[in-house]
Chains A and B, each alone.
Chain A
Amino acid sequence: MTEKVKLTWNGKEIEAPKGSNLLKAALDNGIEVAHYCYHSGLSVAGVCRMCMVEQDGVPRPFPSCNATCGEGMVIRSDTPKIKASVEATLQFHLLNHPLDCPVCDQAGECGLQDYYMKHGQYDSQMIDKKVHKEKVQDIGKNVMLDAERCILCSRCVRFTEEITKTNEMGILNRGDHAEIQCNETLKNDYAQNLVDICPVGALTSKDFRFKQRVWFLEDVHTTCIGCETGCSVKVSENKNGAFRVKPVYDHEVNGHWMCDDGRYIYKHVSSPTRLGGAVENINGLFVPADELNVQAAVKGKKTKYILSTALTIEEYANFFNAVKGKNVEVALYTLPSDGPEFDGILRRGDKNPNLRGAKAAFELAGFDHSQAGLDNLLGSISSSDAVFVVVPEILYNEDHFNTLIKKVEKAGVRIALACGETLGTLRAFNYLLPIPAFLEKNGEILNYQGQARKLRKGMTYGEASKDVSYYGKWVNL
């Protein structure tokens, strides 16, 4: 245990570990202090000079991000001296800012807008012409750079230096002409974190570019189902669809960051080709069908189920309850690993988000979850069978899934339970039935640590009520 010290901030007593960061102590205790360059996941730079504070007995203000907590410190950040200092600093930050908020995607969640309203509200004293730098630079990995909007907080430079260790970003030139530049293009797999940590609109996402204004969006705090890490994320969405994924701080799993693959997990949820209701495959054309027709087709057939690993613990439990005591074969399809097992930061090769939950549920219900179990099921398929295949929510490896589909083709009735986009490969099935996507259900999944991660329900774009257990009741009708 580290030793705790007591200090006073604007008259409020706070407690913090001895020698820890002074600004972090304030932020952790709910005290708002203006800051741009400080980020608790990165090293301290102390370049923005926004977090100035005064201490009793110290003659001059100093930046709190570069100070440490000591016993009995009396800190003030609301004195006239500090207010004047923050306002003056903000004026300097905004000297050459192009003020193109109408076209900037950061508007609405921009540090400059927030702090101008809070600490600025001055009239510009600038009489010279603004220095112009290069706008609209595509620096790769879906990141756009606008050097003009940058306030040189150096968060992005420190991120590529400390977290990804790829050193693509740097500050070039001096004085007015200093600007952020990228060495050729971004090459790391965590590049879009730059967009999140940029406090202004200098680095914006190309994927999200001009899609929506941020004030039209609502965040749903859920879990990434891209791989078995299970990062804590928030999905921004409104009635028109889901638009972006951002990481949420979680010190046990992902810290502040998430990988670039996880940024695209929302795409299928509100895709225009998303399955809306039951459809029947008539000579390669998908035509809306009645569920009763599908039920009639299944009737009298021996039912076999192939589940995916992207369902929640609750869904597995409900499904096995629904098929309990019925004559049914169940197997588990696991996606093959993609890339190295662990890249050293967050991304894992195992693309099965709830493999542990699935295995536990299979064992509890007495079914075989191994590859041999799946091979057995596939080998025994005959024309008197009805096979239900739960399509993996995010299909990383379509070829691997196609080999599974080939083996299923012998069955009399083939039914796919899908929540992703209606792919061409699904033409091998007789019927497609909709199931809820990860953003449309509450539940838990077990990540690689065996830790339960929560999925939360946002808006509904496809199907929310009919999950796998609903179709499980159709067995032996």
Chain B
Amino acid sequence: MGEPMILKADLYREHGFLKGLYLGLKITMMTMIRNLFKHDRMTLNYPEEKYFYSDRFRGKHVLTVKEDGTLRCTSCMLCATYCPAQCIHIVAADDSDKSVEKAPVSFEIEMLRCIFCGYCEEACPVDAIRLTNEYEMSGHAEQEWVADHYELAFRKSLNNGKGVVSTVDDKDRMKLRL
């Protein structure tokens, strides 16, 4: 509470005041000199420079597609069931292809409600939904934050609008007779 944080620092405890001051300043000066001559400093000139997150980052969702370009999702509703924020809304319908049988006619995610927990990705039995490392989202009205399946599957950033192909297709599955 009232204790000054600096007195707790290990440098002072272990080395005494003068040596501790010297060691602390050494770190500060080293970092400053490095930042002056090498450009690997932590501060970024966002948005001109962008930080690249790892693939494990849980950002904006993507709906994968089959090789023929249709949605991989079978609308089993497991993601919508598992979703703790209840932000996924799927409307299922018959598909004319008997090997597909069921497909979504509408797949919406309310981005403002989503807590990016990644449970939908975990629940999906067919690798239809993934969370990408896209972190830039903006919008004004609430409606702009409801992402439909065109945006989720075919936005510009995903292979220039062609979408991300899922690992296993229905056709592969039928061929393998799994």
Which A positions have Cβ atoms within 8 angstroms of B?
A: 100-103, 107, 129-130, 132, 135-136, 209-211, 213, 215-216
Contacts of B56 in A (CB 8 A): none
Asked whether B41 is an interface residue with its Cβ less than 8 Å from the other chain, the reply is: no
Contacts of B74 in A (CB 8 A): 102-103
A102 lies within 8 A of B78 (CB):
yes
Min CB distance, B170 to chain A, in Å? Answer: 10
Select from chain B the residue with minimum beta-carbon distance to A129.
B177
A102 lies within 8 A of B125 (CB):
yes
Select which of A101, A107, A135 is within 8 A of B98 by beta carbon. A135
Min CB distance, B157 to chain A, in Å? Answer: 28
A101 lies within 8 A of B76 (CB):
yes
Distance of A102 Cα from B101 Cα, bound (Å)? 10
Asked whether B102 is an interface residue with its Cβ less than 8 Å from the other chain, the reply is: yes
Contacts of B125 in A (CB 8 A): 101-102
Contacts of A107 in B (CB 8 A): 76
Select which of A100, A101, A210 is within 8 A of B92 by beta carbon. A210
Select which of B76, B177, B178 is within 8 A of A103 by beta carbon. B76
A-B contact sample (10 more), CB < 8 A, given A102-B76, A103-B74: A102-B102, A102-B126, A107-B76, A130-B178, A135-B101, A209-B94, A211-B92, A213-B76, A215-B81, A216-B81
Contacts of A213 in B (CB 8 A): 76-77, 81
Interface residue ranges of B74-132 to A (CB < 8 Å): 74-78, 81, 92-94, 98-99, 101-102, 125-126
Contacts of B178 in A (CB 8 A): 130
Distance of A215 Cα from B80 Cα, bound (Å)? 12
Chain B: residues with Cβ within 8 Å of the partner, total of 17
A136 lies within 8 A of B98 (CB):
yes
Contacts of A215 in B (CB 8 A): 81
Min CB distance, B143 to chain A, in Å? Answer: 21
- Per DSSP, chain B at the interface is loop
Distance of A107 Cα from B93 Cα, bound (Å)? 16
Min CB distance, A196 to chain B, in Å? Answer: 21
Distance of A129 Cα from B176 Cα, bound (Å)? 8
B177 lies within 8 A of A210 (CB):
no
Min CB distance, A361 to chain B, in Å? Answer: 44
User: Given contacts A102-B125, A136-B101, is CB(A210)–CB(B93) below 8 Å?
Assistant: yes
Q: Which of B81, B99, B102, B126 has the most CB of A within 10 A?
A: B102
Distance of A104 Cα from B81 Cα, bound (Å)? 16
Contacts of B93 in A (CB 8 A): 210
Distance of A107 Cα from B98 Cα, bound (Å)? 19
A100 lies within 8 A of B81 (CB):
no
Distance of A130 Cα from B175 Cα, bound (Å)? 11
Select from chain A the residue with minimum beta-carbon distance to B124.
A102
Contacts of A101 in B (CB 8 A): 76, 125
Min CB distance, B95 to chain A, in Å? Answer: 9
User: Given contacts A100-B101, A130-B177, A132-B177, is CB(A210)–CB(B76) below 8 Å?
Assistant: no
Select from chain A the residue with minimum beta-carbon distance to B99.
A135
Select which of A100, A102, A210 is within 8 A of B94 by beta carbon. A210
16 contacts between A and B (CB under 8 A): A101-B76, A102-B74, A102-B78, A102-B102, A102-B125, A107-B76, A130-B178, A132-B177, A135-B99, A135-B101, A136-B101, A210-B92, A210-B102, A211-B92, A213-B76, A216-B81
Distance of A209 Cα from B94 Cα, bound (Å)? 8
Distance of A130 Cα from B178 Cα, bound (Å)? 7
Min CB distance, A107 to chain B, in Å? Answer: 8
Contacts of A210 in B (CB 8 A): 75, 92-94, 102
Distance of A341 Cα from B62 Cα, bound (Å)? 59
Contacts of B76 in A (CB 8 A): 101-103, 107, 213
Select from chain B the residue with minimum beta-carbon distance to A135.
B98
Min CB distance, B113 to chain A, in Å? Answer: 17
Min CB distance, A96 to chain B, in Å? Answer: 10
Distance of A213 Cα from B79 Cα, bound (Å)? 12
Contacts of B77 in A (CB 8 A): 213, 216
Distance of A216 Cα from B125 Cα, bound (Å)? 19
B101 lies within 8 A of A103 (CB):
yes
Select from chain A the residue with minimum beta-carbon distance to B96.
A136
Select from chain B the residue with minimum beta-carbon distance to A100.
B101
Contacts of A216 in B (CB 8 A): 77, 81
Contacts of B126 in A (CB 8 A): 102
Distance of A132 Cα from B92 Cα, bound (Å)? 25
Contacts of A135 in B (CB 8 A): 98-99, 101
Distance of A62 Cα from B99 Cα, bound (Å)? 39
Distance of A401 Cα from B177 Cα, bound (Å)? 57
Min CB distance, B99 to chain A, in Å? Answer: 8
Distance of A100 Cα from B173 Cα, bound (Å)? 11
Contacts of A103 in B (CB 8 A): 74, 76, 101-102
Min CB distance, A274 to chain B, in Å? Answer: 20
Distance of A239 Cα from B126 Cα, bound (Å)? 28
Distance of A426 Cα from B42 Cα, bound (Å)? 72
Distance of A216 Cα from B75 Cα, bound (Å)? 14
Interface string of B119-151 (1 = CB under 8 A from A): 000000110000000000000000000000000
Q: Which of A129, A210, A215, A216 has the most CB of B within 10 A?
A: A210
Select from chain A the residue with minimum beta-carbon distance to B97.
A136
Select from chain A the residue with minimum beta-carbon distance to B91.
A210
Distance of A129 Cα from B177 Cα, bound (Å)? 6
